[in-house]
Amino acid sequence: FAAEGPVFCSGHDLKELSSEDDVKHHSQVFELCAEVMTLIQKLPVPVIAKVNGLATAAGCQLVASCDIAVASEKSQFATPGVNIGLFCSTPAVALGRSLPRKVALEMLFTGQSLSAHEALMHGLVSKVVPEDRLEEETMKISQKICESSKSVLALGKATFYRQITQDLDTAYKITTKVMVDNLTLRDGQEGIEAFVQKRKPVWSH
């Protein structure tokens, strides 16, 4: 995900949330947003946010929902809904799963922003680079990912999100079975054979 201009994403259009619209309309707006955020994690390919500018409210939620986020040094992240009387409860779902609880709650309670380097320090973004290197760095990560097997990546991503909400024992049971399943994939065997034969793997995708 990328954007043009000084704002990565400022979240919902508040004009859509006025009292002129009914509760059904408001529900549809937030349900659609939640569906988009959950679909990102259900996609069988890694999703990268390339952030160059301000990411606020649902825009900050979008960054937190992506698998990887690369930000320019000028980027900022905030959930300022509390300042206008609309607490960022849905962004809090993604923020609470990406950031330490106290950092997420400070953002949610105060509406104050994190700088790009603060976001990196707390785990909201994966990497911070100068603006003129943002495209290059994002593509470098993308290209490295594309060197791997699509089926193996899809299995790994789905398993990561499935196990992350489980207790330790359950997480290991899930992932132990998936490791065995991974070995049954054509690309799982190809990768091992290529390693043993000291050659580059040829993925089935």
Q: What is the pLDDT of residues 23-32, one digit of tens each?
A: 887 788 889 8
pLDDT for 102 equals 97
pTM, two decimals, is: 0.91
Task: Report residue 3 as tokens.
Answer: 């954007």
Q: Can you give the C-alpha Rg of the chain in angstroms? A: 19
CATH architecture of 7-146: Alpha-Beta Complex (3.90)
Q: What is the pLDDT of residues 115-134, one digit of tens each?
A: 999 999 999 999 999 999 99
In sign, the C-alpha dihedral spanning 156, 157, 158, 161 is positive
- Identify the H or E element spanning 68: strand 68-72
Task: Report residue 51 as tokens.
Answer: 């952030």
Asked if CATH classification 1.10.12.10 holds for the domain at 149-197, the reply, yes or no, is yes
Q: What is the pLDDT of residues 73-82, one digit of tens each?
A: 999 999 999 9
Which part of the chain has CATH 1.10.12.10? 149-197
| Phi, then psi, of 29 in degrees rounded to 5 | -60, -50
Q: How many angstroms separate the first and last alpha carbons of the chain?
A: 23
- Mean pLDDT, all residues of the chain: 94
Express the helix, strand and coil content of the chain in percent, nearest 5 each: 60, 10, 30
Which part of the chain has CATH 3.90.226.10? 7-146
